[in-house]
Chain A
């Protein structure tokens, strides 16, 4: 008897065309940047540097979101994790600043921010994995908790004695345009870019990544080959919390230099939009984060140039972009299949 297997085809062709579009887009962006750089080098450099700055907390938040969601846990508490970490990192720095060298105090501030993020990740994991609470409610608990605690303990008028400084990477920083934009940055900005590639590699090329994705897509398949769904989810949400914590520390110790009530200002939620727009991949999310960062940086530049555009309009650009992205792409992008569902082993 002849074989009667049925084959499905036509998938690769659509992938190739997607890649072509991406390359065309990158080339177009490159040409636009060079053109504006020739027209107005100062403004272009400052917008692009601003883009990298603004994208940093967004990509860190998005990495937090996608590490959790790839293992099946929705995290809408990124905002709260960031805020709490921003606050604790700031307070630790304020407390330690007078008794030790500034660099060490800043370093310990960042570390404590990361730990607080991880701790809140652990709390979210406990609510969603052990208590099997609705994950949206779990995230909301974290957001409200963070807003309440930080507002309550916040003391007006505290400042640090300094922020994390920028480091020029030797001769690389002297390249026109690219130098100031990419190679004259502060530590967490460098780290965020490195982490994008690390997480991308880890997710698709390591044992951890394979197991994480299996748990997020088909937990019982992972369970039947002896992978602990609970352990994987706990571990991932805690690791993810470190990223949100780093983003929080960035806001107070590297970007602003002080703490304000509700200073995350929706960045945790925009990070989720960034993650979805990036289709749950680190590289894609980085692209999306740069787009959102660009919208914010452009606003700052437009305000600065004193153009006759109402600031409310420019200021709302990142949020309008969020709505457009979520309305246009959220439906089409495919989230991990088991996201949001507590796992009941047999």
Chain B
């Protein structure tokens, strides 16, 4: 399907953007043809979002030109971009949760009955009309926070179409979706392009790019390193362009040899911050020498489960056993001392103290014990020595072990946490979203470290919203939906389709 014959609707010429100390975009040229899907591929920090924010008027290029529909434009703010037909669906939805779909859609471009009085029913009619024309199923009167993520995303798309957008920028739209929801989104994207909308689709998932794009632009360190066509590309070739070297995308591991159960969970019930049950009776076991992966769309109780297992959140009822000790509601310190390592979901909030040095961060769980402390006095030399050693061993890219943790990139922060957690004797490793938002190189490293722990006889529980990560790492896959583990599958039986259906809560279809 060659669409290069179509007219150019958007062109970026030599766009350069500098932030203090960083060259975010370096002379980027980009062409978008009418009715095509241009995928923009790149690692976190490659400059994709910066570039898109410039096309949407949120940032202003230091050099270069933006042309929309044959006209050179200066986009001072989003309003200018909207007026030129550019719409953007942000990675973090820009919807007001307590308002209705119609209110959200018209916000800023309201339909009135005159005198500043809203014409709500007219707005609802408009939303229904757009929803029918483009096959974007959504109830205009629904309150946004009651809607599932996939529906919220459709609201965002309708929001752009309501403003007559014919150039649509989708920033990492599939990050929050199940595979089925993602397929539905791709169907909608094709529907839109068939009606003349042009789409820029930002992602770091290679499979999606090959499935849906007409052209693929690859960004690396702020530079456009190439334009590829899906017909002539493979996942490996795209990954190489993205990273600049050959990477191994699949996790390499031998067969697991599990022995005795290390972690046993019995009928665990846990409440979330709003006092609703988030974990509704989970029973499971993780044996020494195996990796159990928990797959599921975010917000189905995974966070609360992990917090209960690590002592960060009280269990409402049920039991957690570590070997023969009932550790239910033990303090985090006690659980840590019993040999549980934890890679927390939010590394900046729960994993590291941003203003502390790397060396100090690496002793957060045992600074009070010998050899790091003697009679309540901390021995700095020992701590710094260990810091230097672990920085080398775990390949943390930093000027020194005395650098504050906050100065490092996401991947390197994660390596610091991994270094700390793996540097002491461990029976059980609980890793929540271990590679979220980090570069491909670091992902490879951390995956290898997790597998190495398993081979050393550690029981490993991995919780991840990235289905590929769970499928790649796990020896057994447990799927969590609405606070329950709806199924546990051996890795061999856990196909993408089956796990995807389970993640969406349809147990019958997945089993049948």
> Footprint of B on A, CB under 8 Å?
1-2, 4-8, 11, 205-211, 213-214, 217-218, 220-227, 337, 346
Contacts and interface: CB of A to CB of B under 8 A. Distances in A.
B59 A222 contact: no
Contact of B180 (A1, A213, A223): A1
A174 to B, nearest CB: 36
B502 to A, nearest CB: 10
Interface of B: 53, 56, 58-59, 77-79, 82, 88, 90, 94-99, 103-104, 106-110, 112, 116-118, 120, 143, 146-148, 150-151, 159, 163, 180, 482, 501, 504-506, 509
A346 B148 CA distance: 27
A225 B82 contact: yes
Contacts of A2: 506, 509
Given A210-B103, A218-B96, A221-B96, A6 B148 contact: yes
Given A208-B116, A225-B82, A346-B59, A214 B146 contact: no
A224 B78 contact: yes
B78 A5 contact: no
A172 B409 CA distance: 73
Pairs of residues from A and B, 9 with the lowest C-beta to C-beta distance, nearest first: A225-B108, A226-B79, A221-B94, A4-B504, A218-B96, A207-B116, A224-B94, A217-B96, A207-B110
B118 A206 contact: yes
Given A4-B505, A224-B94, A214 B107 contact: yes
Contacts of A205: 117-118, 120
Given A6-B148, A221-B95, A346 B117 contact: no
A209 B120 CA distance: 13
B78 A225 contact: yes
Nearest to B105: A225
A11 B146 contact: yes
B116 A206 contact: yes
B116 to A, nearest CB: 5
A11 B142 CA distance: 11
Given A6-B505, A226-B77, 12 more contacts: A8-B148, A11-B143, A11-B146, A207-B118, A209-B118, A213-B99, A214-B96, A217-B98, A218-B94, A220-B94, A223-B78, A224-B56
A340 to B, nearest CB: 17
Nearest to A338: B96
A210 B506 contact: no
Given A5-B148, A225-B108, A210 B78 contact: no
A4 B107 contact: no
A205 B79 CA distance: 24
B117 A4 contact: no
A197 to B, nearest CB: 14
B110 A4 contact: no
A265 to B, nearest CB: 35
A226 B59 contact: no
A210 B90 contact: no
Given A6-B148, A227-B107, A217 B99 contact: yes
Contacts of A217: 96-99
A206 B56 CA distance: 28
A266 B272 CA distance: 37
Contacts of B159: 225
B88 A224 contact: yes
Contacts of B148: 5-8
B108 A337 contact: no
21 contacts: A5-B148, A6-B148, A6-B482, A6-B505, A7-B148, A206-B116, A206-B118, A207-B112, A207-B117, A209-B118, A210-B103, A210-B106, A214-B99, A217-B96, A218-B97, A221-B95, A222-B107, A226-B77, A226-B108, A227-B107, A337-B98
B129 to A, nearest CB: 20
Nearest to A336: B98
A342 to B, nearest CB: 18
A224 B90 contact: yes
A217 B150 CA distance: 21
A222 B106 CA distance: 11
Given A205-B117, A207-B110, A227-B107, A218 B95 contact: yes
Contacts of B107: 210-211, 214, 221-222, 225, 227
Contacts of B118: 205-207, 209-210
Contacts of B163: 225
Contacts of A208: 116
A202 B509 CA distance: 49
B53 A346 contact: yes
A4 B180 contact: yes
Given A221-B96, A224-B88, A346-B58, A5 B109 contact: no
B430 to A, nearest CB: 27
A1 B150 CA distance: 16
Contacts of A346: 53, 58-59
A227 B53 contact: no
Nearest to A4: B504
Given A217-B99, A224-B90, A210 B79 contact: no
Contacts of B504: 4, 6
Contacts of A223: 78
Contacts of B506: 2, 4
A283 to B, nearest CB: 17
Contacts of B110: 207, 210
Contacts of B94: 218, 220-221, 224-225
Contacts of B79: 226
A48 B26 CA distance: 72
Contacts of B96: 213-214, 217-218, 221
Contacts of A209: 118
A207 B119 CA distance: 10
